[in-house]
Amino acid sequence: MELHDVWFVLIAVLWTGYFFLEGFDFGSGCSRSCSPATGPRSGC
C-alpha cells in the first residue's frame, strides 16, 4: 500500500464519519435512526 492509498483511505474515513455524525442535513439522526423508539417515530 503506497502513501497515496493511505491518504485516500484516511480522507474517505474522515468524510464518512463527518457525514454520519455531523453532516449538513444528515446530523446525528443517522446514528439514532435505529435506536429504540421513545416518541412517535418507531424503529428503523
Residue 5 reports pLDDT greater than 90:
yes
Radius of gyration of the chain (CA): 15
Q: Which helix (H) or strand (E) is 5 found in, with range?
A: helix 3-22
pTM: 0.50
Residue 36 pLDDT grade (very low, low, confident, very high; cuts 50, 70, 90) = low
Q: With contact defined as beta carbons under 8 Å apart, do 1 and 11 qualify?
A: no
Residue 18 pLDDT grade (very low, low, confident, very high; cuts 50, 70, 90) = confident
